[in-house]
Structure 1
């Protein structure tokens, strides 16, 4: 019985005990290095089993990618799992933040404590300052991030259309711009029941139906920003390569009012 088990645990190619075994679609199993060498020696694009010569349904590239991915998950699974959730380390960087009234579009209504913004149908400020957004109903946070790690949370309520994130200090505020990373915006935008990051090519992420608060973690030194669904303790999206030689500003774009109703506000939390 023991001898039979030992034979089952040996690779048919090298006759040694399996090392990082790979199973083909024909159910025959080999060492990862053995099957890789087998394929390289034959210089073929088809994954052929050394025993039964059956052509695998998966390409060599797929087989190797799956194997490498499995190994990475085993080695770094704990770190991967940690990055998907709001850890105490991230929450320790939470800071008090206010909105910069000088940047607010004239149709935005800011609370007295500069912690809540809502878009209305009435122009509140006719002055067109150099920092004010003219054609986009947006406002920036008062903070300017040159380095370090920063975390803040925004209550989005039941809004069906908003955008949150960061932007360069020098973004164009006098024209209607596309919220793209190429133009200096690193944000996520909710449209209906889906979230769209500002990266290209654009991807669509289904939004949780009970999403009501978004956590934003910015690591300027690592050039990385993460967006979290706070209620469900889940990562929504992560974007890297926030390369900028100038300060980054928190960015807020609330829902615009529709016919017969007012747009939902955005509020800094707590």
Structure 2
């Protein structure tokens, strides 16, 4: 059941092609082309400005040469005159050389495009980030339409766990409860599944993780080992996110480290059973967190929650299966 994995965030962007939630190519090449055109236009304008400055300097130099040549001819003619009065009158205007530029300090450097390129790249990054947010927002709206109503199954809940009466919340109760033997129950780790399972089509649900310091959630196949310490990987039948003090990761072998989103409060989980896709979303920020793609599902999948244990009051908040707020 190996899966191909994809993830992206606002900090990581691409000018090429990304895949939307249904596997269709979504090109952002238009953004790259726009950025390229703007950069080319900026380069042309900068080059045009440099050429104009060079041409202006050439004209100024030519004018100085012409003035000095005329002056030299005038002085030469004056040196041969025998009219002393004319000589004295004209010499006054010729004795002081005309003001000229110090051309040893003048240079026309080839234009530098580093700043222009950096500004263009910054603009491109900003544009791409905006486009990615729009894409993700549209994607999240699409998957939210596949919302399912699920409730937690007490027959699967580890003896430490406390479930709400409506089956929408779960937290660690600290005390091990004496419960009837049940082959469906988890007995090593504080896991719980929902009553509902899915064997085809698409489904989506959201879980509030606010105020939690340690949790795990996602989906799991029906035949997962429930009485031992099997590690959560796609091979053992788990497609889950895990959050703790070390960060956020997708459970696999090896685990996939993910960018930690600030104030992650609610996680959306979308599954396309037939296409083999499991995706996770930061609902409040409306950002895609991670997708496992190319998965092969051959048995029912159950939404999976693990509130983990509380220690001295920390991590006591529940995981809450929340209704989807589908915005326009």
**Superposition TM-score, scaled by structure 2 size:** 0.56
Answering whether residue 135 of structure 2 is matched by residue 135 of structure 1, we say no
SS at match of 2:155: helix
Q: Secondary structure at the match of 2:149?
A: coil
State the partner residue of 1:113: 166
Offset at residue 200 of structure 1 (A): 3.3
With over 3 angstroms needed to count, the CA separation of the structure-2 counterparts of 1:114 and 1:172, relative to structure 1, is same
Find the counterpart in structure 1 of residue 177 from structure 2. 124
The equivalent of 2:266 in structure 1 is: 213
Rounded to whole Å, the distance in 1 between the matches of 2:315 and 2:270 is 29
Name the SS for the 1:130 alignment partner.
Answer: coil
- Compared CA separation, residues 150 and 120, structure 1 to 2 (3 A): same
Distance of 2:142 and 2:218 partners within structure 1? 20
> How far is 1:162 from its partner?
0.6
SS in 1 for 2:219: strand
Aligned partner of 2:135 among 55, 78, 82: 82
Within a 5 Å distance, the mapping from 1:125-164 to structure 2 comes to 125-164=178-217
* 1:252 alignment partner, one of 295, 298, 305: 305
**1:226 pairs with 2:279:** yes
Contact 1:107 / 1:125 at 8 angstroms: preserved in 2?
A: no
Tell me, in whole angstroms, the C-alpha distance in 1 between the residues paired with 2:223 and 2:193.
12
Query: Partner of 1:165 in structure 2?
Result: 218
Pair 1:260–1:199, CA change in 2 (3 A): closer
Change (3 A) 1:82 1:260: closer
In the alignment, what sits opposite 1:38? Answer: none
> Offset of 1:86 from its aligned partner?
4.3
Say whether the 8 Å CA contact 1:128–1:134 is kept in structure 2: no
Residue 262 of structure 1 and its aligned partner are, at CA, apart by: 5.5
Q: Does 1:269 align with 2:286?
A: no
Larger Rg: 2
1:81 Cα deviation after fit? 6.1
- Separation (CA, whole Å) in 1 of partners of 2:157 and 2:252: 24
Higher relative contact order (CA 8 A, sep 6+): 2
Q: RMSD over aligned Cα, in angstroms?
A: 2.4
Residue 96 of structure 1 corresponds to 149
The count of residues paired between Structure 1 and Structure 2 equals 197
Deviations 1:168-215 (A, max 9, x none): 100000102211111110101002151110233322113222111000
Give the Cα separation in 2 of the matches to 1:262 and 1:91: 28
Describe the superposition over 1:204-234 as per-residue Cα deviations: whole angstroms up to 9, x where unpaired: 1132221110001111011101100001000
Q: Which ranges in structure 2 are unaligned for 5 or more consecutive residues?
A: 1-32, 37-127, 324-328
In structure 2, the residue matched to 1:192 is 245
Matches of 1:133 and 1:213 in 2, distance apart?
A: 25
SS of the residue 1:87 aligns to: helix
Which residue in the other structure is 1:50 paired with? none
Counterparts of 2:291 and 2:134 in 1: how far apart (Å)? Answer: 14
1:244 shift after superposition: 2.2
Q: Distance in 1 between matches of 2:271 and 2:213?
A: 24
Matches of 2:233 and 2:141, distance apart in 1: 31
- Distance in 2 between residues matched to 1:265 and 1:141, nearest whole Å: 15
- Structure 2 CA distance, aligned partners of 1:81 and 1:113? 35
The 1:83/1:176 distance shift into structure 2, 3 A limit, reads: same
Distance 1:205 1:150 in 2: 23
